[in-house]
Structure 1
Amino acid sequence: MVRQELVARQLDEQIAARFAVGRRLRVLDVGMGQGTQALRLARAGHRITGLEQDPKMVSVAREAVSAEPEGIRERVQIVEGDGRDTGVHFLPGSFDVVLCHGVLMYVEEPDPLLAGLARMLAPGGLLSLLVRNADALAMRPGLAGDWATALSAFDTATYTNRLGLEVRADRLERLTATLAGIGAPLHTWYGVRVFTDIAQDGTAPPVDAETLLAAEERAGRTDPYRGVAALLHLCGVRG
């Protein structure tokens, strides 16, 4: 809940800053998963294309779309495919906004993927990335009292996620250079889950969830707190 809500607020802020009020945007969601952000933007009137390679997630997303009113359903298209093959499915410059949330950690070499995403953007388009923060990998095990894992996390950019998979994280400095090199330089970045990263999956939101979100949102915009967030939300703009 915290991740999705914070990213939604941050994304809405960037869209409002870059596009005219009421403009219907063309949005590509690469690795759309269950479609949380895609459906939210479709409800706001935007036209969404979701690209997803996991058949199970495709099924979940299609079921979620089918539960929406007809006017929203007709604004969402789901394409089965790999995010690294956007050039196979779409023409360059076809989208105003490209989302890639929670995908880069599963890609061994992210630069070709990112270059392909940037090519999908029209001039002035917004690229929204949500990545695991490699500069904060020691925080979760350290706060949990797992000192050996915390010590080893300082010298690596890989980690074991909550699904038990060995995956990779990204550093802000390197991604900033990559975005500049592919023509979508970093415009703004946020931290996501500064205080709540150690909460167990399935934990019910507290009664004062809005206060929790306000604290997380403030921390995600404020140094030095945002630098130790579990996730980084980077927003690049196509030149």
Structure 2
Amino acid sequence: MARQLDEQIAGRFRVGRRLRVLDVGMGRGTQALRLARAGHDVTGLEHDPVLIAAAREALAAEPEGIRERMRIVEGDGRDTGVHFLPGSFDVVLCHGVLMHVEEPDPLLAGLARMLAHGGLLSLLVRNGDALAMRPGLSGDWAGALAAFDTTTYLPRARTDSNGETPARPGPEARADRLGELTATLAGIGAPLYAWYGVRVFTDTAADDAEIPADLEQLLAVEERAGRTDPYRGVAALLHLCGVRD
């Protein structure tokens, strides 16, 4: 997905331009730090104190020049208007956040207002048109049948830092359908410009799976599938890019 984002940035902005980037729900700051290292001014917005602490620790280990280009703000993505003026950013990222928001339209409208004219809105969402894929490929036929008629799902239980898997997955989350998001983006003045599939073939891989010897080929296949119909339509996640008109 980083390559897709970089492609969109390179296609929309002058090479070498220092962009103003807002990363909403930055988590541990991985994407924000990557963009700060690339020379951009990055603001990370996050409400989870544990993740904020991890991001601050990672930022503290960076050279001074990178530390000066990134700031961390504690807050909720639904309150961007409280923290920033409209049109303050050239790029707004919202990756892995919408699935935890019951009513995403107000959040998306707020994010669009943060964009300057011609600015790029980058979303990473759970694909509501392909929720039956994971249970179906795992042989969970009852789960696959149920997934056709819903946009809610239980995230897969993740292995924690001690190597233990919780007895139950996390709280129920929500997926988005491409057609509905396309209409929403058009309605908030940031119409869909490009979209990709993410995790087409690798969604069922175990968290503790060993890195395969043919990793480069695997990544090349995922990259190709994520840009190609019909494969991208059944990806576990969708990466959508809207442009402020």
* TM-score bracket for this pair, using the shorter chain length: over 0.9
Q: Which residue of 2 aligns with 1:84?
A: 78
For residue 112 of structure 2, the aligned residue among 108, 118, 124 is: 118
User: How well do the aligned residues superpose, as a CA RMSD in angstroms?
Assistant: 0.6
Q: Which residue of 2 aligns with 1:211?
A: 217
Q: Distance in 2 between matches of 1:35 and 1:105?
A: 19
Counterpart code for 2:148: F
Counterpart code for 2:126: R
TM-score (norm 1): 0.96
For residue 129 of structure 2, the aligned residue among 127, 135, 139 is: 135
When structure 1 is superposed on structure 2, of 107-116 and 163-172 the one drifting more is 163-172
Q: Distance in 2 between matches of 1:207 and 1:85?
A: 44
Could you tell me the percent identity over the aligned residues? 81
Q: Which residue of 1 aligns with 2:95?
A: 101
Structure 1: segments with no counterpart, 5+ residues: 1-6
Counterpart code for 2:99: M
SS at match of 2:240: strand
The structural deviation recorded for 1:90 is: 0.2
Counterpart code for 2:223: E
Q: Distance in 1 between matches of 2:234 and 2:34?
A: 28
For residue 34 of structure 2, the aligned residue among 31, 36, 40 is: 40
TM-score (norm 2): 0.94
Counterpart code for 1:176: T
Structure 2: segments with no counterpart, 5+ residues: 158-168
SS at match of 2:31: helix
When structure 1 is superposed on structure 2, of 185-194 and 202-211 the one drifting more is 202-211
The structural deviation recorded for 1:206 is: 1.0
For residue 55 of structure 2, the aligned residue among 55, 61, 75 is: 61
Q: Deviations over 1:112-134 (max 9, x none)?
A: 00000000000000000000000
Q: Which residue of 1 aligns with 2:198?
A: 192
The structural deviation recorded for 1:204 is: 2.8
Q: Which residue of 2 aligns with 1:228?
A: 234
